[in-house]
């Protein structure tokens, strides 16, 4: 019975503290009075539910919400932080991998998202390294989304024996 009360308890405690500090005029935390902080609170509640109550399916949304909230706080404060779709995919990959650590499910998706994030984040370096900037090969390289769609169709249509 206690396990079902962890998530709403953390949500109410976190939101209450957030709004209390905001209304009290506590200026030291002024940069954190924004919607990404609310994402972090909800994500932390999922993570505490996942690890504390052993509800391991809550780990994935916890990592995603906490990661997105942290990203939106950090992206405008650190020059080296990438503001790229690959960052979001990397956070999702981390969520799948952490959930796999506890449940044994989602390893394939985690690795797939991790590879996709690496390709997106380091596309320029990968393209230079492989030498795909040649005219003939770069035309073929533009068709890689079609390859992703074909692989996706394969997974959807081919039955496992």
Tens of pLDDT, residue by residue over 35-93, are 999 999 999 999 999 998 888 999 999 999 999 999 999 988 888 888 888 899 999 99
Helices vs strands, H then E, count in the chain:
8, 0
39: region left, alpha or beta (phi > 0 left; psi from -120 to 50 alpha): alpha
Q: What is the mean pLDDT of the chain?
A: 85
pTM for this one? 0.76
**Average pLDDT for 13-24:** 88
pLDDT at 1 > cutoff 70: no
């Amino acid at each position: 019975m206690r396990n079902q009360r962890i998530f709403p308890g953390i949500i109410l405690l976190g939101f209450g503290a957030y709004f209390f500090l905001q209304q009290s005029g506590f200026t030291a935390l002024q940069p954190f009075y924004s919607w990404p902080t609310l994402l972090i609170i909800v994500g932390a509640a999922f993570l505490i539910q996942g690890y504390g109550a052993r509800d391991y399916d809550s780990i994935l949304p916890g990592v995603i919400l906490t990661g997105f909230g942290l990203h939106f706080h950090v992206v405008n404060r650190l020059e080296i932080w990438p503001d790229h779709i690959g960052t979001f995919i990397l956070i999702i990959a981390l969520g799948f991998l952490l959930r796999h650590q506890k449940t044994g499910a989602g390893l394939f998706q985690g690795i797939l998202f991790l590879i996709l994030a690496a390709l997106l984040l380091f596309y320029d370096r990968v393209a230079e390294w492989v030498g795909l900037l040649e005219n003939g090969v770069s035309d073929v390289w533009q068709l890689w989304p079609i390859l992703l769609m074909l692989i996706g169709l394969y997974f959807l249509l081919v039955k496992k024996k």
